[in-house]
Structure 1
């Protein structure tokens, strides 16, 4: 059902709605790609430099891969960068160099050039307290707020940091402090909404319901001016909310980045995450405005 709703139907529809595909005569050198986003127009994150602020090597896949893959598509004209605050050496320092190399490999699979990946040396660990002021200073060092060419967008965790990870939570507060201190600059910030237990491990179940109702609503609107929406836990069309869904091709890329890129992390429970986690097929970004 998920493959049908996210991949098969959109690919069939594009054959009938896109002039270039219908005629096999292409104006650009990019083949049209499917996108499932709400709002459907993503003009708010177009022509920007996006900094993904993550805590550990593999965060970019485990939590943010749908938005990285979507917002890297040529239609958005974005530049995507990774700022990883640790080397992932909580088990042992010898793991640090290994996980850094894996991060670069994963980033390349996701389409991020190695020159756009920066790894800092904060100590990784559930018991490590990262200073919010230090994070702010690090962001000041690595983000060029004086650039007038593109708007800057920060994407990081929210106040709950996905499963209350203290490193993730610190990044939210540090990034928000940086945003507030540079309020006069062209900076916007989005946080990844932490999902509750059942939603986190629902994989594609809730997505199937949401997208099925959306297709039915679109069909009905061709005959009756009525809008039917189902969106779990928060209004789908909120002005400060962006929802991005992966299709089968994006999920395959996420699996490759995690399974092949971060090979040292593929212990038994990681496979459970790949099979059950909704984060690999769905991201809910909320703009931070306060």
Structure 2
């Protein structure tokens, strides 16, 4: 039985309107995204748990923030090789290929930690927040690391310093509720607290943003979730400005990055061409309909 012409017309109009909205909302000058400032001239670290997290969850963010005209320098720090199935070395190489495909400057901007004793790729084990914090301090806040290691005394009169401006990672639910993902949230917050310990009166040199987890029914509606997220984020940013919650230099309360149609295909190919070892059947579904392939909304964490 064929559909009536009127129904087919209505479907065609709805699809056209969706594509038009998608294309329009993905431009930085559109009224939909104008209330979501981007980041400019920042040293940024994306903290992930496994190779493929950067493509499956953070692709819109990476594609947006690596645009040359913004002047950012984005690096990826991955705390495992994803060796649960014995493919650690393969997945390490796949991460580098995917990261370059998404816009990172060079292979040197991808660092993978291979320490399964502390950071095992496991669906049943959490990672100690102190270990994550210590690793971040060693990488980005040498003075804090020296204090933690007992090789230097903390100077409370000296402002905190770091070699990055922005840290991006998962929120407390980890998108997929993976314990490794959730551990990064707690480890990142622990690191910020360590950085600011006994530094009252100083501004934190690092702004922490976390990727927002959503209920299951929103996770798999793709671009249809963009309007809802835009309204929520716009209200949050407006409220932050009105309440003066945003401190000088702290950055916006929310960030929103929406892939264009071309960028959506780029994000997909980061998985299909970069992470070939991971392309089992259910990941094809994820890269097709997951909202995280279309957009990322990140919330600034107050620690």
TM bin (shorter chain)? 0.7 to 0.9
Match of 2:108 among 92, 109, 115: 115
1:69, distance to aligned residue in structure 2 (A): 0.8
Mind listing any 5+ residue stretches in structure 2 that lack a counterpart? 1-16, 144-159, 197-201, 241-252
Structure 1 counterpart of 2:23, from 1, 4, 7: 7
The equivalences for 1:60-99 within 5 A come to 60-92=54-86, 95-99=87-91
C-alpha separation in 1, matches of 2:100 and 2:94: 10
1:127-142 counterparts in 2 under 5 A? 127-142=124-139
Whether 1:48 aligns to 2:45 is no
Quote how far apart the aligned CAs of 1:232 are: 4.9
Distance in 2, matches of 1:234 and 1:88, equals: 36
Shift of 1:35: 11
Q: CA deviation at 1:9?
A: 8.3
CA 1:195–1:8 in 2, change beyond 3 Å: closer, same or farther? closer
Alignment match, 2:5? none
One of 220, 244, 253 as aligned partner of 2:257: 244
Distance in structure 1 (CA, Å) of the matches to 2:26 and 2:56: 25
Do 1:38 and 1:236's aligned partners in 2 also have CA atoms closer than 8 Å? Answer: no
Secondary structure of 2:231's aligned partner: coil
Question: What's the TM-score, normalizing by structure 1?
Answer: 0.77
> 1:91, CA displacement in angstroms?
2.1
CA distance in 2, matches of 1:73, 1:119: 23
More strand by share: 1
CA RMSD of aligned residues (A): 2.7
Deviation by residue 1:256-279 (Cα, 9 ceiling, x = unmatched)? 101100001000000110111000
Structure-to-structure mapping, 1:100-249, within 5 angstroms? 100-112=92-104, 113-121=106-114, 122-144=119-141, 152-183=165-196, 185-207=204-226, 209=227, 231-232=231-232, 235=235, 237-238=237-238, 239=240, 240-249=253-262
- Aligned positions, number: 247
Cα separation, 1, equivalents of 2:220 and 2:176: 12
Structure 1 position 261 matched with structure 2 position 280: no
Distance (whole Å) between structure 1 residues aligned to residue 237 and residue 60 of structure 2 = 18
Which residue matches 1:281? 294
CA contact (8 A) 1:145 1:186 kept: no
CA distance in 1, matches of 2:165, 2:261: 29
Kept in 1: contact 2:221–2:290 (CA 8 A): yes
Give, in whole Å, the separation in 2 of the partners of 1:79 and 1:179.
20
Q: Structure 1 residues 52, 149: CA separation in 2 closer, same or farther (over 3 Å shift)?
A: closer
Q: SS at the partner of 1:283?
A: strand
Cα 1:272/1:2, change in 2 over 3 Å: same
Q: 1:159 aligns to what SS in structure 2? A: coil
For residues 264 and 73 of structure 2, what CA distance do their matches in structure 1 show? Answer: 21
Q: Between Structure 1 and Structure 2, whose CA radius of gyration is higher?
A: 2
Distance 2:189 2:26 in 1: 37
Q: What is the alpha-carbon distance in structure 1 between the residues aligned to residue 259 and residue 31 of structure 2?
A: 8
